[in-house]
Amino acid sequence: MAGRSVRDELRSNLVAALQRREPLFPGVVGYGDTVVPAVVNALLSRHNFILLGLRGQAKTRILRQLVTLLDEEVPYLEGTELHDDPFAPLTAEGRGLVAERGEATPIGWLPREQRYVEKLATPDTTVADIVGDIDPIKAARLGTRLGDERAVHFGLLPRANRGIFAINELPDLAGKVQVALFNVMQEGDVQIKGYPMRLPLDVMLVFSANPEDYTARGKIITPLKDRIGSEVRTHYPQRVEEGMAITRQEAWTDRAKGVFVPAFVAEAVEEVAFQARSDARVDKHSGVSQRLPISLLENVVSNAERRALAHGGQGVARISDLYAALPAVTGKIELEYEGELKGAESVAREIVRRAIGQVFGRRGAELDTAPIVEYFDAGNNLRLPSDLPSSDWRAPLVEVPDLLTVAAELAAATSRDAGGVETAVSDELPLVSAEFVLEGLYARRQIGRSEELGYTVAEAAQPGARPRWN
């Protein structure tokens, strides 16, 4: 459509999508009442906008999905470097082509996927990278002066003409690059090596940044901040269920040797991220990415898969697999000074233990576990070697009063959550659930656990120890 800008195109297609009640930004979970409406308002207002949020909050995914709101393809002057609009050529090259060929000017069609350009900002990014630079060889070949538009080697921003240009981590751009950006945004001109040049690009500019860097006195220059129309704040999942939906969607769990993940294991995986985000020893400015539970679930499944490959049968993930998957946690958290003193693995282990305790508190609140606790208070202990298949646990588990009865209740609830458990794992699920009960009691300090004895009496129940808490 002649004369329609990129912003008008995005707005028009968005209006049509809203009227058809089509889902916007598929795969982005938990933003339906917060981030998505704010982004929609920015697009309806034809604003350049920025997404502010910590790492792992789907900022890049949202920006990349904007391309779905562009037309499937648009016409351009074939052979032009900046994909000139046939009805309003931007470059001297395009204007000359139309003047020379007229109605016979060759027309190409640009698909929407090629109209999105993305750049990760780094401190060494230059004006030449973003806007362009004078090319003396090109000027000499054309026999023109250095200030001629035809002597410019264009950067990423001009090459995004008639499309969307995204910059991730905007504050990392040097001040002079930010100046060049807002000149293009506001005035449609730029200076390259001291030569002023008109550059009225048709481009939608979108950005992402960490909110800690995006302040009036931070790394964003005020004129650029003022020219960004809308500032949209992203966030981590606000409910465990939302986080579980994201993790289930993104994690690679489809293994050749199928692995069944009980609901309480999946919930504990997600709870680890929630506990880490609230832990005083974890750096809040850095954040805890949603990639943590995704990687953690993948490692939990891999540990169950490894066990199944060694012993045969179908793998069933256990709550203790979270401890075996600690490498997926330690690399995803930045620690404060107190955490550094304790060490990443020690902090991660405590976070996992607390997460298991929280999930057991929700799922096992109505269970009568008093006989189980009394068994260990009487000086008994129980070892469940992690390298053995769960079927080998049955004999020792029977020795603990009411443990398998309580575990059967949890297993039945897990089966209902899964819509019924296949026969291959139905016998094993109560045994895995029994381990969850024991780990939950240990996490809530009602029983103890050691490498030598396994599950045993809680430290607080020993003579001279402080009272235990729930």
pLDDT tens digit string along 76-86? 999 888 899 99
Q: pLDDT digit string (tens) for 226-261?
A: 889 999 999 999 999 999 999 999 999 998 778 999
The C-alpha torsion from 345 through 351 and 354 to 358, rounded to 10°, is: -140
Residue 1 lies in a domain: no
Taking residues 366-392, what's their average pLDDT?
A: 91
Q: Please, which pLDDT band fits residue 464 given cuts at 50, 70 and 90?
A: very low
Same domain, 186 and 266: no
> Which pLDDT score, from 0 to 100, does residue 146 have?
66
Same domain, 252 and 119: no
Between CA 83 and CA 89 the distance in angstroms is 9
Query: How confident is the prediction for the chain on average, in pLDDT?
Result: 88
Report the pLDDT value the prediction gives residue 1, as an integer from 0 to 100.
Answer: 44
Is the per-residue pLDDT at 216 higher than 60? Answer: no
Higher pLDDT, 329 or 104: 329
Range with the lowest mean pLDDT among 324-328, 402-406, 410-414, 460-464?
460-464
pLDDT tens column, 4-13: 899 999 999 9
Kindly state whether residues 32 and 150 are assigned to the same domain. Answer: yes
Q: 466 in a domain, yes or no?
A: no
Q: Is residue 469 part of a domain?
A: no
Which among 211, 233, 255 is the end of a domain? 233
Q: Which of 233, 264, 297 is the last residue of a domain?
A: 233
Lowest mean pLDDT among 244-253, 282-291, 317-326: 282-291
Same domain, 148 and 244: no
Tokens at residue 314, please?
């179908």
Do 174 and 257 share a domain, yes or no?
no
Q: Which of 180, 198, 233 is the last residue of a domain?
A: 233
Query: Does residue 316 form part of some domain?
Result: yes
Residues 249 and 134 in one domain: no
Weakest-pLDDT range from 59-73, 100-114, 453-467: 453-467
Domain span at 144: 6-233
In a domain, 468, yes or no: no
Shared-domain flag, residues 71 and 161:
yes
**Are the CB atoms for 384 and 453 separated by under 8 Å?**
no
pLDDT of residue 470: 40
Mean of pLDDT values over 127-137: 81
Claim to verify: residue 279 and residue 368 sit in the same structural domain: yes
What is the pLDDT, as a whole number, of residue 19? 97
Q: What is the CATH number of the domain that holds 199?
A: 3.40.50.300
Residue written as token pair 């995005």 = 10
Report the predicted TM-score, pTM, of the whole model to 2 decimal places: 0.87
Residue 470 lies in a domain: no
- Amino acid 256: pLDDT: 77
The verdict on 319 and 381 lying in the same domain is yes
According to the model, what pLDDT value does residue 428 have?
Answer: 87
Token pair in block for residue 114: 């090629």
Residue 467 in any domain: the answer is: no
User: Is 457 inside any structural domain?
Assistant: yes
Residue bearing the bigger pLDDT, 465 or 411: 411
- Overall domain count for the chain: 2
Check whether residue 285 and residue 192 sit in a common domain: no
Are 161 and 299 in a shared domain?
no
Do 215 and 308 share a structural domain? no
In Å, how far are 130, 147, 203, 317, 339 from 91, measured between CA atoms?
A: 18, 14, 15, 61, 57
**Long-range pairs of 294-298 with CB within 8 A, sequence gap ≥ 24:** 294/246, 294/247, 294/250, 294/251, 295/251, 295/328, 295/332, 296/269, 296/272, 296/322, 296/325, 296/328, 296/329, 297/247, 297/251, 297/253, 297/261, 297/266, 297/269, 298/251, 298/252, 298/253, 298/328
